[in-house]
Every structure is written in structure tokens, then in C-alpha cells.
A and B are shown apart, each in its own frame.
Chain A
Amino acid sequence: MDLFVQTIINGLILGAGYALVAVGLTVIFGTLHIVNFAHGAFFALGAYAVLMLQNLGLNYLVAVPFAVLAVATVGYLVEITIVRRALYDRGEYGSIIITFALAQAIVAATILIMGPDPLPVRSPFGQTAISLFGFFLSAQRVFIAATSVVVLAAFAWWLKYTVRGQQILAVSQNPKGALYSGINVPLIRSLSFVLGVAAAGLAGMLLAPLISAFPTMGDANVIVAFTVVILGGLGSISGAMLGALVIGLSNAFFETYVSVSWTSALGWVLVILVLLFWPQGLMGRTQINRH
């Protein structure tokens, strides 16, 4: 019986981690309608940013906020030079290719600068484990889950109750309409891109103590993020959170009770099943496109 409860705990904690990775992706798609294949590269940038700050002597917890800032700046630079010029209001597959090439460029640059070998990222919670009524919880995972819940709640609140937040929702639904009602659309668009990238970076630096920092660390996590975002409904933040928990729990149960080698196919099978019945995903908006 306690294996069952332990699996639920594993699934929930895993889901919280996935949510953080996925929300960045869904914000960018939701607001900018860009499929960001470079998400994994920014995820890795986050890990390397916190690593570099640690090498300068900063403690992990102090380094995280600064590292998020660093990744956000890189995101802003990319937005101005490439994304703003090439991607807005252009067909989706333009964004697929440019963001994929961007991901390759960032990974190659990381290998050139930081070398190909995995580098440890030390965190105060890195190694310790907590046991609660006999159930095991890795301290770092709990820290990730807690941060994820706090950050996502704050973000959802900010979207709902602040002017900027409302403007982001407006731009995501109808960029032209938002423009005519006086919203500074270019600013909102770069803000959304930077927020999405920063979320990816934050996820990277939180997971780095567990998986250590290496150039291609983003790839596997992005695949999961895509399944989560599609399951939850592209562009819906609450959908991303729900999708993350569903995939987290199903992965945990499938791996524990069914088979390990087919798990990575499970994510996709879930996505395909959901899309057959709810084409817009669990929480997504049905796209009513007036012709």
C-alpha cells in the first residue's frame, strides 16, 4: 500500500517540476503563437548561469534570482534581434525552424564555452532527503515543487489582477484588437517572450542540482514540456499546470507498475488520445476562427 502512496508523492512532485518547464512554453505559444523549440536551450542556459554565479562564490539560493535575471536579459536580446523581426504574425513553421536553429546555436556555443562534460551544481538541498511518515521526499524536489507552486500562483495572480497581466491576455486573444485599444503590443510581446524564457531558465537552474548541468540537458525536458502543454491546451497556463500533474502521475504509476521501457511513449499516447476527444486540449480555448 505504501508503494502506492509513495508513487502518488513521486508523481505530484514530478508534475510540479514539469509545470515550471511547461508554463514558459505555453506563455510564449499562447501570447505569441510561436512554437519555441529553443525552450530546452534556455532551460540549459539557466543551469549554466547559476553555475557561473556559483563559481564567482555566490551561494546557490542567492545565485538563483540573479541567474533568472541573466537568462531574462539573454531572452530580451534574442527577442529584439531575431524574434521581433522574423517571427511575429508569420506562419508557424517559420518559428519552428528559427527556434530549432537557435537551440542548436546555443547548445554549440555552450559546448565551446563550458565544455561538453556534465558539471555539478551544488545546492543546500541537493543531497539531503526527508522522510515523512516513512515516505521518501528528496529535499531538492520539494524545493522545486514549492518554488513552482509559489511562482505559478504569483504568475497566475499577476495575469489576472494587474494591468500588464490583462494586456498579455488581450494580446494573446487578439493582437490587432489589443493594438487598436491602445496596448503597447510590441512591449507586451517582448515581455511575454522574456517571461517564458525566464521560466525555462528557472526550471533549468532548479533541476540542475539533480541532473547536473550539461549542454543537451534541455532536450528530454522539452519533449515532456511539449506533451504537457498540448495535453493541457496550448496557451492555457492552468492547462499547463493540470497537464503537468496528469503526465507526472501517469509517468510515475506507469514506471512503477507497468513497464519502464515504454514510459517515454506514454506521454505521446496520452496527448494523442486527449486530442482525439478535446482537440483544444483539457483547458484550451476552442479556436473559433471567423473566415
Chain B
Amino acid sequence: MTSTSSQALKLQGTGRAGSLGKGVLIVLAAGLILFVGLGLQSTFWLNLAAYTCGFALFALSVNIMLGGVGEVPLGQSMFFGIGAYAPAVMINNFGLPFEFGVLVGMVIAAAAATLIGGVTLRLTGAYFAIVSWGMSGVAMVTVHNIEFTGGALGLFGFSRLAVGPFDLSHPRTYFFVTSIILLLVLILLAHIRSSRFGHALESIRQSRHLAQSLGVNVFRERLKAFVLSAPIAALAGSLCLPFTQIVTPESMSVLRSVDALLAVLIGGTGLLYGPVIGSIIFTVVPQFLNFDANVKVLVFSLLIILIMMVAPGGLHQLIKAAGAALRCMSESRR
């Protein structure tokens, strides 16, 4: 989006500093996870923190398309819903374990993305955004009308939500599992960004024609990005299940994608962990604004408009600008 994306694209591996910087970041992140996981005592905040990690994962999958390829995936909530429905159907209808359901969800999401991407990725800009919204609309109606997905009531009452020995109904474990998965996906995405595939996406985002003239198969790389983002969105859907306790057609609604878009744009699309910052702001801040609900929505929406007007690159750009301003003030005083 802005010059921030080039800093984020440090040449890992070629320079010593590159991998050292990343190593510090990982240690920092692990420390943060331990601090929050052990520090928080209340079940509400632990569960909300775990849900925020799940939501951040979904925001990361949205940013693969938004920051990565420059397209607005309004229909990404369909994959989120697939990720939520797959384990629910496996547990309630077939008595299979939660972990199996999560994997099935990711596989179905990837397959669906290949089919749908093949169709929608020929479009771009507003056309792609609105048609992918349409896809999630059709998916929502389908799930609404099918019997084994529980119709309008949805699926609920899950006997066991656990990953191996880790029981996700226990808040602290739930937080550690989701935060560690989020960290692993972040590391994966960092590697992707600095791989041949990641560079191809960045070149396509900046100029499709120039990338094509340098031998990049634009359609195939965009499809690979779309098929990569789908299972991550599905994984996020599965990880949000222990929090919501129920899967309803609304999990596929475009409103979920827009929530994630807001989080990504607040955090900043250029920065790899921008969506994580945005998700924290998006789910945690409203908990503190405790005046009338409608006033809260009004204030929060106007805040988003203000942020987007002042810093289209998101808060990340604002922080950097503030940092730069501080630096030049200190210099001018010297």
C-alpha cells in the first residue's frame, strides 16, 4: 500500500540483520503470549483473548488477498463458515473428533477456493469484491436451507472441543492453543512474503502488467494466494467455535468479512502483523466503551472513518508518522 510494505519485505536470509530481527520478533511474541496467558485470570478475558486470536487469524487470511494481491475478499466469510460448520457437522452428525472436522473444513475450503477462484479471479476491483460477496450470500442461503447443517437454528451442544490432550472448553488452554497457532501462521506468512511466491504477489499488487511482462503468471499466482487464504480462514472459523458455542448461517454473512476488513485496515495492510493489531483493537476496545449500545456503534464507526481519512495505510502508518515526527522534532531541538 504505502512505502511501509517495502520495509516489511526485508531481504530475509541475504543479510544477517534480517533473520536476527525476525528472531527477536518471535521471542517477543512468545513472551507476550505467556504474559497474557498466565496474567489474565478472568474466564471472560481469557476466552475473549482466544477469540481475538481466532479473529486475527481470519483477518490475516483476508489480508493475504487485500494486502497481498490488492483485492477485497468480501466473500471470505464463506470459508470462515465452512471452517465452523465442518467440525460441528462431524461432531454432531457423524460423531467424529473435532480435530478431524477442522482438517476436513480446511480441505473443503481449499477445494471451494480453487473452484470459485477459477471463476472470480478473472474479475478485479469492485467486480471481484461484489461477486465474492454474492458467493457468501449463496452459501448462506444454502446452509440455511439444508437439513444436516441444522437449518436456521444451526448446530450446537458439542460434546468435545479439544485438540489432542488440550481441552478447548478450558479458557486458559483455549487461549494458548489459538495464540500458538496464530504465531505459527504468522511465521508461515513471513516466510511466504520473503519467498518467490510472496514476491510475485507483491509485484502483481503493484503492477499486474509489469509483473506479467517479467514472466509472472498473474492468474495462477493470484489463484494460489486465494487457495492459500481459504484454509487459514477455515482454521479461524474452527478456532472461534469454542467461544461462540454454536454455528449459525450468520457465520458466513458478509458482515464477518467486513469486521475483518475493518481490523486489517485499522492495523495496516502493509505490515505483516497489522491485522493482528487491528483485531485486538476491534474486539477489545469496544468492551471498554460502556455507554449506550447505539452510541457505541456511532462512536466506533465515526472513529473508523476518521482513521481511514487521516491514515489510509491504517494505524500502523499513523504510528510510523508519529515516530518520524518525534525524530525530526528531537533533531531540530539539538
Contacts and interface: CB of A to CB of B under 8 A. Distances in A.
A and B interact:
yes
Interface of A: 29, 33, 35, 82, 85-86, 90-94, 96-98, 100-102, 104-105, 107-109, 111-112, 223, 226-227, 230, 234, 261-262, 264-265, 267-269, 271-272, 275-276, 279, 291
A93 B127 contact: no
16 contacts: A29-B126, A82-B305, A86-B305, A90-B312, A91-B1, A93-B66, A93-B129, A97-B265, A98-B305, A102-B301, A112-B295, A265-B137, A271-B134, A272-B134, A291-B209, A291-B210
B127 A234 contact: yes
Contacts of A101: 262, 301-302, 304-305, 308
A98 B309 contact: yes
A97 B210 CA distance: 29
B305 A109 contact: no
B30 interface: no
A231 B72 CA distance: 19
A105 B145 contact: no
A82 to B, nearest CB: 6
Contacts of B129: 35, 92-93, 96
A246 to B, nearest CB: 15
B137 A223 contact: yes
Interface in B1-48: 1
A230 B130 CA distance: 8
B141 interface: yes
Given A92-B72, A92-B125, 17 more contacts: A35-B126, A86-B309, A86-B312, A96-B261, A101-B301, A104-B300, A109-B294, A230-B131, A262-B141, A262-B145, A265-B138, A265-B141, A265-B142, A267-B134, A268-B137, A269-B138, A272-B138
Contacts of B170: none
Contact of A102 (B66, B134, B305): B305
Contacts of B292: 112
Contacts of A105: 297-298, 301-302, 305
A272 to B, nearest CB: 6
B135 interface: yes
A55 to B, nearest CB: 21
B258 interface: yes
A86 B304 CA distance: 12
B119 A112 contact: no
A92 B126 contact: yes
A97 B262 contact: yes
